[in-house]
Copies of this chain bind each other. A is one copy, B any other.
Amino acid sequence: MSVKRTMEGFKMLVSVDEALRSILDNINLTPDVIEVNIQDALGLPVAEDVVAPLDVPPFDRSAVDGYAVRSSDTLGATLLNPVRLRIVGEVQAGDDPSRLPRVGEGEAATIYTGAPLPPGADAVVMAEDASRVGEYVEVKRQVTPYMNVSRKGEDFTKGKIVIRRGYKVQPWHVGALASLGIRKIKVFRRLKVAVLSTGSEVVELDDPRAGTPGTIINSTKPMLISLLRQDGFEPIDMGTVPDDADMIRSKISEGLRVADAIITTGGTSLGAYDLVPDVVARMGKVLFNGVRMRPGKPTGAGIINGKPVFMLSGFPVASLTGYITFVRPTLRHMTGTPEDPVPIVKGKITRRVANVAGIRTYLRVRVYPNERGELMVEPLAITASGVLSTLTDANAILVLNENVEGYDAGDEVEVMLISPLEAY
């Protein structure tokens, strides 16, 4: 495929879906699997289904504080006609199930939440439904068999899936694994992603030239590195190189030796110094260069030795769109990790927005409640894919899909929250 471009525009623009499909169809990489302590597994995708090695609870146990009884003894018990049972012992959480008092007919045992149900008993009367009177308890409410009891294997039956392959370990998974006595699990190592910026005019923030005429501070790379970090990947900062094919090639090689994927920024638009797609074409294969979306039209991707190369715009907002649309879904696909839930809200759009047929548009919007408490969606002005303030002012993104012509003022739209609603 030719990557030739001219001042007249990109050739062979592909749709967002086609573009993503082409990456997923072409990557060929098996992420490393490592074994970690469950305390260190938070946020990492598990490499295989994690299953319960045993029943939890390992025995019937009380779900409440109260009195272990034979349910048949409580038949007809009410507040006015309580049933009196003799207390024969006490059972606490953690007591050895093989050394418990036996509850016979007309008897009860004081029991605490989590304690094993003593032999003979088949239910627990809640403390609120009973009164202790010396050596006896007066039961004021009848219980049915296994009422207020957590049955053996009720939480996890042996063999039950606790975490599905590819899913990220959440805090409650860590709790569940601990309660199952599982100390280590197999997870995918954090994917390493090299980030390389190109552009002779682009300088790093800590470069002494930063801020002098003729330079542009690299704001895109720190943003991408932060996005990768926030998403649980391991960014590798490859720095900024000038528009020089040999230097770009050498850095891409270096990046792909250590990383599972590489992101380049800059060098994909129509300027005369756009070298990245040509370099990638010589090192591997360019899958697409130019996508029917905005911002982010000058986004490309390629494959080198089975690893994805994301060629993003050098402009922050366009590169963010490229990241969300291609980088994140591809990296999650590599470990079989489903998308996180997205906070979606509905609101009324404050002014007309138009879309170009066949283009997917990502509009930055501000969502706020009006004086009547209705959610309003205000599109922020955009003239350029470099305007970062539309992101710092925005608290949501409105996606106009390819088949949407636009919206009129007052139309209800669904937007994706990226910051708290209270945002200014």
Contact = CB atoms under 8 A, between A and B. Distances in A.
Contacts of A383: 63, 148-150, 154
Interface stretch (A69-77, A177-185, A250-258, A302-310): A177-185
A164 to B, nearest CB: 6
Those 3 A-B pairs whose CB atoms lie nearest each other, nearest first? A94-B201, A175-B223, A341-B417
A343 interface: yes
Contacts of A92: 201, 271, 273
A422 interface: yes
Interface string A165-185: 001001111111111010100
Contacts of A339: 420
B269 A201 contact: no
Nearest to A210: B181
B161 A424 contact: yes
Interface stretch (A20-28, A101-109, A212-220, A399-407): A212-220
Interface string A412-424: 0000011111111
B150 A217 contact: no
Contact of A387 (B148, B150, B217, B271): B150
A379 interface: no
Nearest to A216: B94
Given A227-B171, A343-B343, A214 B179 contact: no
A316 B172 contact: yes
B389 A176 contact: yes
Nearest to A163: B392
7 contacts: A112-B272, A154-B383, A172-B320, A176-B389, A178-B219, A338-B423, A341-B419
A132 B7 CA distance: 9
Interface stretch (A36-44, A188-196, A281-289): A36-44
